[in-house]
Amino acid sequence: MGSASEPRGGSTRGRSVDRRGWSFRALSLMVTLGLSACASPPPPTFDLTAPSSGLSARGGRQLAVTEPVALETLNSQQIVVHDKAGAVSSLTGAQWSDRLPALVQTRLIETFANAGQLRRVGRPGDGTIAAFQLATELRQFYITAGTGEAVVQIAARVIDAATGQVISARIFTAKVPTTGTLSGPAGAAALNEALGVVLRDIVRWA
């Protein structure tokens, strides 16, 4: 009797272990499937371009272009939108290809290069011995939902690298209407066009 009951007891324990193992595997599978379902692809990425036509630049000494200063709302990859009440948000399902200040700095240097100033313009610390610095500030770079316009405003200063004295300063602004329904492609295209106007003006001035 005692020897016959042992196999039955062992079989029951085995079935209990099997059920616990199956439950654990099923739970793991459900968690994995749930995480996969929650994961979403990254939003579409948009770039800014440097103007290559309609450019003219003065010859002169070498110029170092610093990264633009920007408020926190513009110091990211978000495409910023201002609504009618002035509230700040970002365009859903879209982003820039890099942090906006770094992207604008790169396109500004490229615009100087497209104007034939490649050997005279560079970044601080890249080996360029620059007599002057071009310091900029991103003051506006957003879509206004109320008027449907892309607004870009950049304040620029030319600074004597030796003395730190401001040689010249100016604010550049451009507004371009967005086309169709406000979306990632439409918003990015309008901001890119407005930036192109500002970059051309900065290169001609600097």
Half-sphere exposure of 177 (CA within 13 A, CB side): 4
Assess whether pLDDT exceeds 60 at residue 4: no
What mean pLDDT value characterizes the chain?
A: 82
Encode pLDDT of 51-96 as tens digits: 987 777 666 678 899 999 999 999 999 999 998 877 899 888 899 9
Q: In which band, very low, low, confident or very high, does the pLDDT at 140 lie, cut at 50, 70 and 90?
A: very high
Burial of 74 (0-12, 13-18, 19+ CB in 10 A): buried
Half-sphere exposure of 128 (CA within 13 A, CB side): 21
DSSP label of 51: -
C-alpha dist (Å) from residue 70 to 73, 102, 198: 8, 10, 16
Strands 132-144, 149-160: pairing is: antiparallel
Torsion of CA 127, 130, 134, 135, to 10 degrees: 70
HSE value, Cβ hemisphere, 13 Å, CA-based, for 4: 1
User: Of 38 and 65, which is predicted with more confidence?
Assistant: 65
Q: List the structure tokens of 95.
A: 């982003």
